[in-house]
Amino acid sequence: MTSKIDSIIEDFELLDNWDDRYRYLIELGRTLPPFPEERRTEQSKVQGCASQVWLVSEARPDNDGPHLVFLGDSDAHIVRGLVAILLALYSGRPAHDIAATDPTSVFERIGLKEHLTPQRSNGLRSMVERIRAEARRVLADTVH
């Protein structure tokens, strides 16, 4: 079975030009589930993003340790697409996998690295760090 992130990578590889890839990125953002208005708080806001980005997680117990499910949103279309990619990569996975997963290879395969402005790249790094920090926090909480 192909994972959601693998499907996204395959779709990106089928698109030859960056106008089509940006359109696809925007479409991915439109597939995000609605973000609850009451969760749009300063605490859920990702610092370091030029656009407004909100990210929340919920830990769910599982046999191989806690799994994290993420919800995210942004006020910018392309950034919403980036959030969708990150959620496809990380959401629903064990916290120990999330903390250990570096998304660089995914971004390189998609070709995002060289097609994002420095500002968006910084925001993307901030989102990844927030997700991985949340996984580390959940892991630390389960040890105590």
pLDDT at 87: 96
Domains and CATH numbers, the chain: 4-143 (3.90.1010.10)
pLDDT at 116: 85
d(CA 60, CA 45): 22
Percentages (nearest 5) of helix, strand, coil residues in the chain = 60, 15, 30
Active-site annotation, residues: 49
pLDDT at 2: 56
pLDDT at 144: 56
Q: Which residues contact 6 (CB under 8 A, 6 or more apart)?
A: none
pLDDT at 109: 86
pLDDT at 64: 84
**115 in helix, strand or coil?**
helix
Q: Are 83 and 55 in contact (CB under 8 A)?
A: yes
pLDDT 10s per residue in the chain (144 long)?
Answer: 558 999 999 999 999 898 999 999 999 999 999 999 999 999 999 998 889 999 999 999 888 889 999 999 999 999 999 999 999 999 999 999 999 998 988 888 888 877 888 888 899 999 999 999 999 999 998 865
